[in-house]
Amino acid sequence: MNLSFLKFDRRTFLKIFSLTALTSLVPGKAAGIPDFRNDKNVPKNYIQNRDVPGFHIRSANPFLGVDMQNWALVVTGLVKETVAFNYEDLFGFKMHSQVSRLKCVECWSAKAKWEGFRIEEILKRVQPDPAAKYLYFQSADSYYESFPIEELKRERVLFVLKMNGNSLSRDHGFPLRLIVPFKYGYKNIKYITRMEFTDTRKRNYWSNSGPYSVDGTIQPGIDHPLDFNKKPLPINGGEVFHPFDKRPS
């Protein structure tokens, strides 16, 4: 039986999905860099920057959180097959767990137990073209980041579903976030909705507007406070391991 019509349907569905995703999940502003850090008018029920004992919350574009009725993880670009994963699909992947520290450039850091899957699960399903060198992430809150694929294959890089034994909270990236312990917090993108395999590196959120590197690897010895006029400060903690991947087990 010829099943190619099914494939066509699915692609059509994906196109429609991504269009609605753009208009309904993303609150506008995709082009500019809005900054709500000093905005006292953000409604209380929005996810926003909050200093919380244990683990601060950072949200460049305050929003109400992901509506799971509209959510799927769409993986596309230079791939053999574009796939839309639903939340349950992700729990079918082999899970890994680790304790690692997230370190923000604003001079705070915090650790948690993270559980999730590794990039190999995605690679197996979508089969990227050899020309694909980068992976570009987009989020439900208009945030975006990109990485060389090779970097995402390194140890302790996780596509995280659970934090400290529970599903990610609304504030910390539900339903899916990236944890890359050797990079500053801003590379650890939350609320992921879409991943695109590309041959060149696409844009990156905070490095577009601040003195932050596109690469985002934690620099030993020095911190870069978000308030641009402040001087760099010494690092008191943070997960830094050099040479790459030779970390204490």
Ligand X SMILES: Nc1nc2c(c(=O)[nH]1)N[C@H]1C(S)=C(S)[C@@H](COP(=O)(O)O)O[C@H]1N2
- Which residues of this protein are in contact with Mo ion, per CB under 5 A? 58, 104, 185-186
> Residues 124 to 143: which contact ligand X by CB under 6 A?
139, 141, 143
Is residue 42 within the footprint of ligand X (CB under 6 A)?
Answer: no
Stretch (H or E) spanning 201: none
Is residue 60 within the footprint of ligand X (CB under 6 A)?
Answer: yes
What tokens does 73 get? 């993880």
Rounded to the nearest 5 percent, the helix, strand and coil shares of the chain are 20, 25, 55
For Mo ion, the closer of residues 18 and 59 by Cβ is 59
CA 91, 140, 71, 22 torsion: positive or negative? negative
Is residue 147 within the footprint of ligand X (CB under 6 A)?
Answer: no
> Residues 88 to 117: which contact ligand X by CB under 6 A?
102, 104
For ligand X, the closer of residues 103 and 118 by Cβ is 103
Q: Which stretch binds ligand X (CB under 6 A): 52-60, 91-99, 217-225, 239-247?
A: 52-60
Is residue 223 within the footprint of ligand X (CB under 6 A)?
Answer: no
CA 245 to chain CA centroid, nearest Å:
20
Q: Which does 56 bind (CB under 5 to 8 A by kind): Mo ion, ligand X, none?
A: ligand X
- DSSP code of residue 88: H
For residue 120, is it left (φ>0), alpha (ψ between -120 and 50) or beta? alpha
Q: Residue 192: what are its φ and ψ, rounded to 5°? A: -65, 135
Choosing from 71, 85, 134, 191, the residue that interacts with ligand X (CB under 6 A) is 191
For Mo ion, the closer of residues 118 and 190 by Cβ is 190
> What is the spatial distance between Cα 115 and Cα 117, in angstroms, rounded to a whole number?
7
Residues that bind ligand X (CB under 6 A): 55-60, 102, 104, 139, 141, 143, 172-173, 185-186, 188-191
